[in-house]
Amino acid sequence: MHRVLQDFADPFYFRQVLPDVWSGFLINVHMMVIAEALVLVLALLMAIVRGLPGRGAKPFRGLAILYTDFFRGTPLTIVAYAFILGIPGLRYAGISNYSNEVYGIVALTVVYTAYVTEVYRAGIESVHGSQRMAARSLGLSYGQALRYVVLPQAIRRVVPPLLNDFIGLQKDTAIIGAIGVTEAAAQGQNFASSYFNFTGFLVGAVFFIFLTIPLARYTDHLIKARELRERAAMV
Amino acid sequence: MTTGHFVSLSGVTKRFGDLEVLRKVDLDVDEHNVVCLIGASGSGKSTLLRCVNLLEKVDEGEIVVDGQTITNGAVDVNALRRKIGIVFQAYNLFPHMTVLQNVALAPRKVRDLDPKRARATAMELLQRIGLEDKAHEYPDRLSGGQQQRVAIARALAMNPKLLLLDEITSALDPQLVSEVLNLVRSLTEVGMTMIIATHEMSFAREVANKVCFLDAGVICEQGTPEQIFTQPTEPRTREFLARIIEAGRM
């Protein structure tokens, strides 16, 4: 037990490695914030496209399905390698000269957009058709019914699973580290290979945990507050 | 085509797959008149209403509303629905909006009123139906009768020229029915044109200018309330009314 503590949780190394892992962790947070913002918007657009009615929209629906099927089925590691190693190798002037971090963010966005599209879609489909019908019967257009009636209800319902996916995304920023961005996990790895001590990983883990827990509690709070406001008093 | 009637259905047929839910229905509704549709569940009352504001697409026949043929595919659906309000059995209020927001949404987004005026108009309507104290509550906090009155106010907020009521008291507890019917009665007094699908026979008898008995997608018999309720000529109408009386509903 002593050996384990010494190797993974040494107080001396803990303090020594802390600044490096912290600076790495800021990169994780940076990648995560940008990717999550992009995913929130892109996945919503994708889910809307998937739900478009009519024959004219069929090719667009098809493309959206193809996209989600492909990227939901592909491991992030493979997509990340493809972007981080593959795109610079193409040597295309416009797209091949960004930093690994940028390609990492793109890989995370591309993969998680596919997951979150499905989450949004489930939310949209969970809103009963009579809501859309009521909106349309008032003269609201398809888009207005979606914007003011369907989506607000759909998005509220999927907040918990959305958060779940975002915790996944936060943690998967570490995969980008393994491929070429010196974020928290990579800093821990560097430290481990220099000092033969793994305390850096513990530091990284602590940072990740402290990032997700407040977010989870805050989401619980939001859901509770809304129920109190909108639902009839519970018996 | 102008018929002189405000709403005119001729030869309207509607199918769901192989099932014909409406068969060659002819029906005229004059302005400021109230037409009640009676008949068993599944006889096509709701479908008929939904065809009039194009929530359902008609397979054959023609519907003319306010001098405009709406069944030829060229009509602006949203513009048509602006002048036709519909209220559903299950209220279908928007649960994420307050009562006031429910009523003000369409005036704001469809009639393009500025938010302040839309709210003021909505508040006036809520006062009219006696629910101004519930303006900032969410629908789920209201009784069924109150929710249904809000749903009527929401439809009225668009100043419709025609109101379709689809069994609006069928989901209500008996003691809540009268508050909703009283509201509808007040609308007849101001001359609102309405088509009402209902199981409330005495109410139909009281407010209708014309009563239509539907059976298996066909208007089996239509006439004045007196005629339908006291001297029905069709055996099926008699049979239906006999069962209603037997059930103590009239």
Report if residue A108 sits inside a domain. yes
Give the helix, strand, coil percentages of chain A, each rounded to 5: 85, 0, 15
Decide: helix, strand or coil at residue B146.
Answer: helix
Tell me the C-alpha distance between B39 and B184, whole Å. 20
* CB < 8 Å to A133, chain B: 55, 88, 92
Report the residue from B85, B90, B109 with minimal CB separation from A140.
B109
Report the residue from A137, A149, A233 with minimal CB separation from B81.
A137
Digit-by-digit pLDDT tens for chain B (250 residues) are 455 899 999 999 999 999 999 999 999 999 999 999 999 999 999 999 999 999 999 999 999 999 999 998 889 999 999 999 999 999 999 999 999 999 999 999 999 999 999 999 999 999 999 999 999 999 999 999 999 999 999 999 999 999 999 999 999 998 899 999 999 999 999 999 999 999 999 999 999 999 999 999 999 999 999 999 999 999 999 999 999 988 877 7
Residues of chain A with pLDDT under 70: 232-235
CB contact under 8 A, A133 and B55: yes
Chain A interface, mutation test: which of B92, B142, B162, B167, most A Cβ atoms within 10 Å?
A: B92
At residue A189, what is the residue type? Q
Cα angle value B82/B86/B89 (rounded, 5°)? 160
What CATH number labels B7-246? 3.40.50.300
Angle between helices A199-230 and A11-51 (to 10 degrees): 40
Report if residue A235 sits inside a domain. no
For residue B103, give Cα distances in angstroms to A130, A145, B37, B98, B136.
17, 14, 27, 9, 11
| Cα B124 from chain centre | 22
Domain encompassing residue A119: 2-230
Cβ-in-10-Å burial (0-12, 13-18, 19+) of B58 comes to: buried
Count of CB contacts below 8 A, A vs B? Answer: 63
Report if residue A145 sits inside a domain. yes
The domain spans of chain B are 7-246
Chain B interface, mutation test: which of A136, A138, A153, most B Cβ atoms within 10 Å?
A: A138
Report the residue from A138, A152, A232 with minimal CB separation from B81.
A138
Question: How close is the nearest chain B Cα to the Cα of A219, in Å?
Answer: 18
Tell me the C-alpha distance between B20 and B13, whole Å. 7
Quote the pLDDT of residue A96.
Answer: 74
Q: Domain containing A182 — which CATH number?
A: 1.10.3720.10
Report if residue A77 sits inside a domain. yes
Which bin fits B159, alpha (ψ -120 to 50), beta or left (φ > 0)? left
B68, two tokens: 């405009």
B1, two tokens: 């085509």
Predicted ipTM of the assembly: 0.91
CB contact under 8 A, B106 and A136: no
CB contact under 8 A, B106 and A140: yes
The residue among B204, B91, B194, B199 whose CA lies nearest residue B150 is: B91
Question: How close is the nearest chain B Cα to the Cα of A171, in Å?
Answer: 33
CB contact under 8 A, A138 and B155: yes
Q: What is the DSSP string of B62-84?
A: EEEETTEE-SSS-S-HHHHHHTE
- Tally Cβ neighbours within 10 Å of residue B57: 10
- Residue A151 belongs to what H/E stretch? helix A151-157
- Tally Cβ neighbours within 10 Å of residue A59: 9
> What's the pTM?
0.88
Give the model confidence (pLDDT) of B22-69 as tens digits.
999 999 999 999 999 999 999 999 999 999 999 999 999 999 999 999
- CB of B168 within 8 Å of a chain A CB? The answer is no
At residue B113, what is the residue type? L
Query: Could you say which residues from 123 to 152 on chain B have a Cβ atom under 8 Å away from some Cβ of chain A?
Result: 138, 140-141
- Residue A41 belongs to what H/E stretch? helix A11-51
- The total number of structural domains in chain A stands at 1
Query: Could you say which residues from 140 to 169 on chain A have a Cβ atom under 8 Å away from some Cβ of chain B?
Result: 140-141, 144, 148-149, 152-153, 156
Report if residue A112 sits inside a domain. yes
CB contact under 8 A, A130 and B88: yes
Quote the pLDDT of residue B186.
Answer: 95
The residue among A135, A136, A123 whose CA lies nearest residue A43 is: A123
